[in-house]
Amino acid sequence: MLLELNDVSLSLKRDGKYVKILDEISLQVNKGETVGIVGESGCGKSMTALSVMRLLPEKAKLEGVINLDHEDVTSYSKRKMEKIRGNKMAMIFQDPLTSLNPLHTVGRQIEETLILHTDLNKEQRKQRVIELLNEVGLPRAEEIASEYPHQLSGGMRQRIMIAVAMACNPSLLICDEPTTALDVTVQAQILDLMNHLKEVNEMGIIMITHDLGVVAEVCDRVVVMYAGKIVEQANVKELFLNPKHPYTKGLLESIPKLGVKKAKLGSIPGMVPSPDKMPQGCRFFDRCSSAMEICKGKTPPMSSVGEDHTAACWLYEEKGGEMNGSSGSEGLEATLHN
């Protein structure tokens, strides 16, 4: 296993008090696997990624275990963390224009990763930059290396970001909405490139997105998040064909699908609760069409609802209890903690 998150919780200081943003997130990423994290804005998917990278604001309280190659990185010193960032794990962000330094040439920005983590000399670094630019599908690499971000198009800029991330052959690549800011034809190019790089480099990828189309296209496994908690996990086919959690079902029904014209879209009433006013029990309770009495007071535990498929919903708890006794009691403990 490449990456393992165990009961990771995160609190951030907002207006003087700590607010829990992530609540006991557990997930795994294997080598060569792409795990999608989906959810709507504010569900904590980006914060999960930033927790792994430890790129959190000051005064963030991070609890739980984050194992990278079986080593807990939450205990790493600042220095040690700097050594693996950009090296063993790298990250790509949503908006490539604002994510690149406008005053440095793109070549220099790719080279910086090499300066930080390798012993290559200047000539070798220059060579590697050209190599990387070619790998991410940018022709006339020498010219592009000496250009500035504003001189490139959106798609090219995201390719540069990918080159920056790939410079030291990371074993874990985290992509935070990497194609959201791009046009659809350019998005297709970038997804294509990422699929190609994944095959070549055997990386583990975390793909954070709100776009279920992107998930279906590139992910092997999917984690659905809602209001700071994981509500469902499954392999991609299972999730799309056989969604269990009412939230996942609601999401899938509310997207218009190309080639299928429906009179009316499904929708989820109400809105996401804010982190400082999290309801007791299941956080989806007041928007859920199958809510029961128990959902109101008790947090549903993660239970197994199929092969490699878990969901946190009281609808499946009985079945889950039979199949996996321990998860039920864990859930109760979690309830007590809250």
Partner 1 sequence: MALLEVKDLKQHFTIKKGFLGEKKKVKAVDGVSFHIEQGETLGIVGESGCGKSSLGRTILKLIKPTSGDIFFGGKNITHLPRKEMKELRKDMQIVFQDPYASLNPRSTVRTILETPLIVHGAGNRQERMKVVEGLIDKIGIRKDQLDRYPHEFSGGQRQRIGIARALTLNPKLIIADEPVSALDVSVQSQVLNLMVDLQKEFNLSYMFISHDLSVVQHISDRVAVMYLGKIVEIADVDELYRNPLHPYTKALLTAVPLPDPTKKRDRIILQGDLPSPINPPTGCAFHTRCPAATPECKMETPELREKAMGHWASCIHVHPEQSTKTKIHIS
Partner 2 sequence: MDALRYTVKRIFLMIPILIGISILTFFISNTIPGDPARLAAGPYADAKVIEELQEKMGLNDPVYVQYANYMKNLLQGDLGNSNYSHQPVMEDIKQYFPATLELTFFSMFITILIGIPLGVISASKKDKAADQFARVMALVGVAMPAFWLGIIFLLFFYLKLGVLPGSGRLDTGLTPPETITGMYTIDAILTGNWTVFKSAVIHLILPGITQAAVTIGMITRMTRSSMLEVLRSDYIRTAFAKGGSEKRVLYGHALRNGMMPIMTLLGMTFGHSLGGSVLVESVFSWPGLGKYAVNAITYLDFPAVMAVTILIAVLFILVNLIIDILYQVVDPRLNYD
Which chain residues interact with partner 1 by CB under 8 A? 40-41, 153-156, 183-189, 191-192, 210-217, 236-237, 240-241, 250-269, 271-272
The C-alpha atoms of residue 157 and residue 134 are separated, in whole angstroms, by: 14
Which CB, 2 or 91, lies closer to partner 2?
91
264 contact, one of partner 2, partner 1, none, CB 5-8 Å limit per kind? partner 1
251 contact, one of partner 2, partner 1, none, CB 5-8 Å limit per kind? partner 1
For the bound state, the minimum distance from the C-beta of residue 240 to partner 1, rounded and expressed in Å, comes to 5
In the region spanning residues 140 to 159, those forming contacts with partner 2, defined by CB under 8 A, are 148, 150
- Reduce the secondary structure of the chain to three states and give it as a string: CCEEEEEEEEEEEECCEEEEEEEEEEEEECCCCEEEEECCCCCCHHHHHHHHHCCCCCCCEEEEEEEECCEEHHHCCHHHHHHHECCCEEEECCCHHHHCCCCCCHHHHHHHHHHHHCCCCHHHHHHHHHHHHHHCCCCCHHHHHCCCHHHCCHHHHHHHHHHHHHCCCCCEEEEECCCCCCCHHHHHHHHHHHHHHHHHHCCEEEEEECCHHHHHHHCCEEEEEECCEEEEEEEHHHHHHCCCCHHHHHHHHHCCCCCCCCCCCCCCCCCCCCHHHCCCCCCCHHHCCCCCHHHHHCCCCEEEEECCEEEECHHHHHHHHHHCHHHHHHHHHHHHHC
16 contact, one of partner 1, partner 2, none, CB 5-8 Å limit per kind? none
For the bound state, the minimum distance from the C-beta of residue 179 to partner 2, rounded and expressed in Å, comes to 16
The answer to whether 149 touches 97, Cβ cutoff 8 Å, is yes
For the bound state, the minimum distance from the C-beta of residue 151 to partner 1, rounded and expressed in Å, comes to 12
Stretch that binds partner 2, among 94-102, 118-126, 223-231, 310-318 (CB under 8 A): 94-102
Which CB, 79 or 277, lies closer to partner 2?
79
Residue that is written with structure tokens 């920056």 in the block = 164
Tell which one of 2, 8, 21, 90 touches partner 2 (CB under 8 A). 90
For the bound state, the minimum distance from the C-beta of residue 162 to partner 1, rounded and expressed in Å, comes to 15
Which CB, 103 or 260, lies closer to partner 2?
103
The C-alpha atoms of residue 8 and residue 25 are separated, in whole angstroms, by: 5
For the bound state, the minimum distance from the C-beta of residue 132 to partner 2, rounded and expressed in Å, comes to 13
Stretch that binds partner 2, among 19-27, 81-89, 184-192, 205-213 (CB under 8 A): 81-89
336 contact, one of partner 1, partner 2, none, CB 5-8 Å limit per kind? none
Which CB, 40 or 69, lies closer to partner 1?
40
112 contact, one of partner 2, partner 1, none, CB 5-8 Å limit per kind? partner 2
The answer to whether 51 touches 67, Cβ cutoff 8 Å, is no
> Taking CB under 8 A as the rule, which mask of x and - marks residues 47-66 in contact with partner 2?
------x-x-----------
The C-alpha atoms of residue 172 and residue 69 are separated, in whole angstroms, by: 10
Stretch that binds partner 2, among 2-10, 90-98, 123-131, 240-248 (CB under 8 A): 90-98
Which CB, 62 or 291, lies closer to partner 1?
291
Can you give the binding site for partner 2, defined by CB under 8 A?
A: 53, 55, 82-87, 90-91, 93, 95, 98-104, 112-113, 116-117, 148, 150, 161, 164
